[in-house]
């Protein structure tokens, strides 16, 4: 009788999965950048209370939060080609609807999903910085951009990092749904491998291991960043005024 559970296969299949790790990482990183950038814009619109845009952003966030990510992936997968067809029709252009690489759909869906969730974190983090510090910066003569870059942003990042880290872990795992847009990343590759060897359970164990390690890495990375950015617990008094301390 052949083995019921071939545990060695769990490890020997990992290299075949890892061939598609770059796709998973690409999806993650690009969606993350889109998520943070758009999330920051949404946060900005909400903080500035810009009419019309504010309502649009709220509606967008509400829809994204209120629908499953897999549905959002299907919506972009079928929605972007339709939008493109309309665009071609009204502008007389000739964009090739079938020429869009599938990964684009997944990136758009995952990125926008991420932005909706991260926008709230970013907004709360920016607003957690005391108003008094902004007044002090104004009083020094800083302009709006300088105040954001020098006072609000660095402190908001420190506050937001733990939540953004959690949300990134969600994104890493969310990329496993990209197969709905016919993207082959590690999960899709796992399915393909399992389909030919019928060793479904072993390969899903390998997949689980890969995601787990990836997640631990992200967790550690964010814990490290958090520690790096936080104000140290203790500092020492300088002896004799220690003016020549140059670093």
Partner 1 sequence: MSAIEIRGLSKKYGENIVLDKVNLTINKGDVVAIIGPSGTGKSTLLRSINLLEKPEEGSVIINNREISLTTKSSKEKLELRRYTEMVFQQFNLFKNRTALENVMEGLVVVKNLKKNEARELAIKHLQKVGMGDRLFHYPRHLSGGQQQRVAIARALAMDPRLLLMDEPTSALDPELVSEVLTTIRNAAKEGNTILLVTHEMNFVKNVANRILFLENGRIVADGTPKEIFDNPKNERLKEFLVKIHMLESPDFTI
Under the rule (CB under 8 A), what is the footprint of partner 1? 130, 132-133, 135-143, 146, 150-151, 154-155, 158, 231-232, 234-243, 245
- In the bound state with partner 1, the residue whose beta carbon lies nearer, of 1 and 235, is 235
- In the bound state with partner 1, the residue whose beta carbon lies nearer, of 196 and 247, is 247
The least CB distance from residue 192 to partner 1, in Å, is 49
The least CB distance from residue 225 to partner 1, in Å, is 14
How far apart CA 74 and CA 93 sit, in angstroms, is: 25
DSSP state of 4: S
The least CB distance from residue 85 to partner 1, in Å, is 45
N residues, the chain: 247
- Tokens 């002090």 identify what position? 136
The least CB distance from residue 234 to partner 1, in Å, is 7
Q: Residues 83, 26, 115, 66: is their CA dihedral positive or negative?
A: positive
Closest CA to 187 of 24, 8, 6: 24
Q: Residues 188, 193, 198, 202: is their CA dihedral positive or negative?
A: negative
Closest CA to 104 of 31, 173, 21, 168: 31
- In the bound state with partner 1, the residue whose beta carbon lies nearer, of 107 and 156, is 156
Q: Are 182 and 191 in contact (CB under 8 A)?
A: no
Q: Are 129 and 155 in contact (CB under 8 A)?
A: yes
- In the bound state with partner 1, the residue whose beta carbon lies nearer, of 40 and 137, is 137
How far apart CA 161 and CA 169 sit, in angstroms, is: 12
- In the bound state with partner 1, the residue whose beta carbon lies nearer, of 92 and 141, is 141
- In the bound state with partner 1, the residue whose beta carbon lies nearer, of 66 and 240, is 240
The least CB distance from residue 128 to partner 1, in Å, is 11
- SS3 category, 5: coil
The least CB distance from residue 229 to partner 1, in Å, is 8
């Amino acid at each position: 009788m052949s083995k019921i559970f071939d545990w060695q296969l769990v490890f020997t299949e990992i290299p075949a999965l890892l061939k598609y790790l770059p796709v998973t990482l690409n999806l993650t990183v690009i969606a993350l950048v889109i998520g943070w950038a758009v999330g920051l814009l949404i946060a900005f619109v909400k903080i500035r209370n810009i009419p019309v845009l504010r309502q649009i952003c709220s509606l967008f966030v509400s829809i994204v939060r209120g629908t499953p990510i897999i549905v959002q992936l299907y919506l972009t997968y079928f929605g972007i080609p339709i939008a493109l067809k309309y665009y071609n029709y009204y502008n007389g252009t000739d964009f090739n609807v079938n020429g869009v690489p599938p990964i684009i759909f997944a990136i758009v869906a995952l990125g926008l999903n991420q932005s909706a969730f991260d926008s709230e974190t970013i907004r709360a983090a920016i607003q957690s910085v005391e108003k008094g510090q902004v007044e002090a910066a104004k009083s020094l003569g800083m302009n709006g951009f300088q105040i954001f870059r020098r006072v609000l942003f660095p402190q908001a990042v420190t506050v937001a990092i733990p939540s953004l880290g959690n949300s990134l872990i969600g994104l890493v795992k969310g990329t496993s749904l990209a197969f709905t847009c016919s993207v082959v990343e590690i999960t899709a590759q796992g399915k393909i491998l399992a389909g030919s060897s019928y060793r479904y359970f072993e390969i899903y164990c390998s997949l689980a291991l890969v995601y787990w390690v990836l997640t631990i890495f992200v967790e550690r990375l964010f814990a490290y960043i958090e520690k790096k950015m936080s104000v140290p617990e203790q500092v020492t008094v300088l002896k004799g005024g220690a003016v020549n301390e140059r670093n």
